[in-house]
């Protein structure tokens, strides 16, 4: 079963599938903590990275990077955007000569805000690069406690900068944008493609050399930039943002679309790789790579019994044992939800299931078990998920 830590690890892998052309080489000694694999047949050989903190099932989560906006400290008003992946307690310095975030004393307190994409928290703060210049750092925690941290190699500077975003695909309900601001900046507005402006917050953690700004918007909003204003309401800086599109978003299903009831469906696309895309009432809510070397396997190649997704009181996913006729979701209080396991019509060699669980709140925080049974009611497999600590 894919828990949230594993989902976060795949977030790193998927991020670098789209960004590896511009990614730096792995630091010396990193292979002991990070795995590189080939991916993305459109580009040939592209590196992927995944932390080895826990098992990985190949669910696709495509984070979107804030584009390069010009270098802070070079006289401009905006700095460099950074990628935002995040998994099971691993720190990756952006360049070999820069220390990891945990090895740098922070410059002031950290700002902690909710992460709408991973259900955990984002920590934002400043630390010094090896040359003494202040750098922007972040740490993302999943709702099960796994984390990923990094510090930007480029020093912060100028009047304001866009440093990152939690954009992903399939999109969550909301997206967080964040960056830095100098003393002159007292306000920030996100600007959409239609010209609509949404104000954010600017906060200065105690002891920090600069302020940190955040804006949270519905994921459906197409943000094209940010405006930064002074105490008189005058615009003193801007930052451009290009809403990134991914090929999965417009890919047409190949062959049969399997309908699992209640508006839930699953279909397979071939762009950019063979991908199982789950939709709820027509909107994408989850995706899984279905190549034999990826689906329902951890990084060591071990076959895992179930890959579980949860969205809007629906639980759904894939099981590896094709003898499975029914899947049961068991909660700590003994209550259960069941779903029939359906044969996949694409010849992948798995079973698919989907149903409602009727529980309020985050089911990952309280824990559960997923159990598979054959047609005679005999238990075939069982996967526990321990309760996850909150933020």
261 to 294, 319, 357: CA distances (angstroms): 27, 18, 14
Q: Which of 65, 71, 238 is nearest to 154 (CA)?
A: 71
Cβ atoms 115, 56 nearer than 8 A: no
Residue 300, pLDDT score: 65
220 to 171, 190, 223, 245, 249: CA distances (angstroms): 8, 13, 9, 12, 13
Return averaged pLDDT per consecutive 10 residues of the chain, 391 residues in all.
Answer: 45 41 33 29 28 35 38 29 32 48 86 87 91 90 74 88 91 93 96 95 96 95 95 96 85 92 93 89 89 70 85 92 96 95 93 92 87 97 80 52
Q: Which of 342, 256, 355, 368 is nearest to 315 (CA)?
A: 355
Residue 208, pLDDT score: 96
Three-class secondary structure of residue 147 per DSSP: strand
Sign of CA dihedral 390, 219, 354, 312: positive
Condensed to tens digits (0 to 9), the pLDDT of residues 83-127 reads: 233 333 333 334 444 667 777 888 999 999 998 887 788 999 999
CATH numbers and ranges of domains, the chain: 63-240 (no CATH), 251-385 (2.60.40.10)
pTM of the model: 0.69
Residue 141, pLDDT score: 83
């Amino acid at each position: 079963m894919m828990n949230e830590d594993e989902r976060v690890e795949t977030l790193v892998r998927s991020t670098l599938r789209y960004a590896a052309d511009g990614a730096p080489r792995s630091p010396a000694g990193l292979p002991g903590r990070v795995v590189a694999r080939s991916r993305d047949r459109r580009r040939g050989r592209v590196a992927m990275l995944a932390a080895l903190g826990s098992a990985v099932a190949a669910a696709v989560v495509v984070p979107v990077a804030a584009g390069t906006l010009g270098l802070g400290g070079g006289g401009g008003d905006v700095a460099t955007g950074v990628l935002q992946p995040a998994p099971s307690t691993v720190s990756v310095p952006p360049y070999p000569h820069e220390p990891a975030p945990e090895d740098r004393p922070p410059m002031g307190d950290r700002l902690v805000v909710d992460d709408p994409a991973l259900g955990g928290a984002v920590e934002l703060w400043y630390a010094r690069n090896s040359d003494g210049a202040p750098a922007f750092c972040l740490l993302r925690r999943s709702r099960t406690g796994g984390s990923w941290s990094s510090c930007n190699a480029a020093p912060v500077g100028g009047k304001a900068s866009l440093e990152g975003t939690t954009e992903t695909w399939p999109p969550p309900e909301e997206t967080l944008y964040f960056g830095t601001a100098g003393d002159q900046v007292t306000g920030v507005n996100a600007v959409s493609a239609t010209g609509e402006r949404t104000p954010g917050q600017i906060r200065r953690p105690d002891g920090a050399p600069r302020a940190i700004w955040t804006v949270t918007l519905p994921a459906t909003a197409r943000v094209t930039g940010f405006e930064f204003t002074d105490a008189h309401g005058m615009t003193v800086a801007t930052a451009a943002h290009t809403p990134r599109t991914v090929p999965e978003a417009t890919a047409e299903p190949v062959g049969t679309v399997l309908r699992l009831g209640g508006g839930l469906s699953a279909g397979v696309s071939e762009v950019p790789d063979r991908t199982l895309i789950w939709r709820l009432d027509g909107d994408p809510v989850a995706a899984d790579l279905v190549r034999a070397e990826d689906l329902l396997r951890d990084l060591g190649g071990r076959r895992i019994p179930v890959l579980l997704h949860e969205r809007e009181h629906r639980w759904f996913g894939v099981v590896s044992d094709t003898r499975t006729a029914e899947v049961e979701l068991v909660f700590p209080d003994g209550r259960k939800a069941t779903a029939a396991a359906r044969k996949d019509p694409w010849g992948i060699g798995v079973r698919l299931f989907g149903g409602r669980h009727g529980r309020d709140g985050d089911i990952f925080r309280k824990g559960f078990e997923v159990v598979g049974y054959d047609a005679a009611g005999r238990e075939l497999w069982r996967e526990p998920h321990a309760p996850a600590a909150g933020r």
